[in-house]
Structure 1
Amino acid sequence: MIPVRKEAISKEAIDTWFGEWEALQIRIHSAHETRNGEAKSLTEHGIALFEKLLVDSASHTAHIDEEFELYPINGRERLQFIKQRPGQYACYRQLDELFKETKKRAARLRTKK
C-alpha cells in the first residue's frame, strides 16, 4: 500500500481538489438530466481528476493500478467499475461517492499522521 504525504492531504490541498470536483459534478449531473451526450466525457474527466488526486497524494512515485492508502473501502474495485461504464448515471453517482469518502478518509489520515 502506498502511504500518503501529509502535506498532500492538508485541508487546503483537499479543498482545492474537491472544489474542482464539485464544479465538474454539477456539469455531469446536468449532462445526465439533459441527455446531451456529454456525460461520458465529463465523467472520464472526473475519473482522471480522482486518479490524479491519488497519485499526487502518494508518498512516492506510483502507478494508478497500485493500492493507495487514500482509497476508501473497495475504492480500487469501485473505480474499475466506473471506468468500464463512464457514461452510466450509476457510475457518475459512484464516482461522487468515491470523492466524498476520499475527502473523509483524508481528514482521518490527517489526524492519524
Structure 2
Amino acid sequence: MSTLQRSIEKEKIMPFFVLWTKLEEEIGIIHTSKRTDASLFMKQGISVYKALLEQCSSEEETLEPLNNDERLHFVESYTSTYAAFRQLQELFIEMQKKVAAKRAILNRL
C-alpha cells in the first residue's frame, strides 16, 4: 500500500469534510443574514482545507484541484466575501472528487 493510498483512506479524510460541512452551514447563515462578518469562520475553513491538502500529499504525489494556489490565494485575500465562500465550497467539492477518483484507481491496482 502506497503512502498516498494510506493518507487518503476514508477514515482519515472524512473528519475534514465533516468539519467543513459544519463551518459551511455557519458561513452560509452569516452570508444570508448579513449581520456579521464571516471572516473568522472562513479562516477556520481555510485551515481545514489546508490540513486536508496536507493529508492528501505524499512524496510521490499531491492531490489538489486545478489552479489550487491561485484560487486559495483569492479565498485568503477576500475572506469576508460571498465569492470567496463559494470558491472555498468548490475547492472542497473538487477535493472530494479527486480523493474518490484516486482511491478508485489505487483500489483497482
With normalisation by structure 2, the TM-score equals: 0.85
8 Å CA contact retained: 2:23, 2:45? yes
What is the CA–CA distance in structure 2 between the aligned matches of 1:102 and 1:56, rounded to whole Å?
Answer: 11
Question: Where does residue 57 of structure 2 map in the other structure?
Answer: 58
Cα distance, 1:12 vs structure 2: 2.6
Matched residue, 2:4? 5
2:10 aligned with 1:19, yes or no? no
SS at match of 1:5: helix
CA distance in structure 2 between the aligned counterparts of 1:83 and 1:10, rounded to whole angstroms: 28
In the TM superposition, structure 1's runs of 4+ consecutive aligned residues that sit over 6 Å from their partners are none
Q: Which residue of 1 aligns with 2:82?
A: 89
Query: SS in structure 1 opposite 2:64?
Result: coil
Shift of 1:96: 0.4
Partner of 1:65: none
Identity %: 33
Aligned to 1:108: 101
Task: Give yes or no for contact 2:56–2:62 (8 Å, CA) kept in 1.
Answer: no
Greater relative CO, 1 or 2 (CA 8 Å, sep 6+) = 1
- The 5-angstrom pairing of residues 42-81 of structure 1 reads 42-59=41-58, 69-81=62-74
Number of aligned positions between the proteins: 103
Structure 1: runs of 5+ lacking an equivalent: 61-67
Task: Return the alpha-carbon distance in structure 2 between the equivalents of residues 46 and 38 of structure 1.
Answer: 14
Partners of 1:73 and 1:44 lie apart in 2 by 21
CA-CA distance at 1:29 after TM superposition: 0.4
Query: Quick check: which one's helix share is greater?
Result: 2
TM-score, normalization: structure 1? 0.82
Gaps of 5+ in 2: none
RMSD of aligned C-alpha atoms?
1.6
- Residues 9-51 of structure 1: CA distance to partner in whole angstroms, max 9, x if unpaired? 1123222211111011000001111123241110111001100
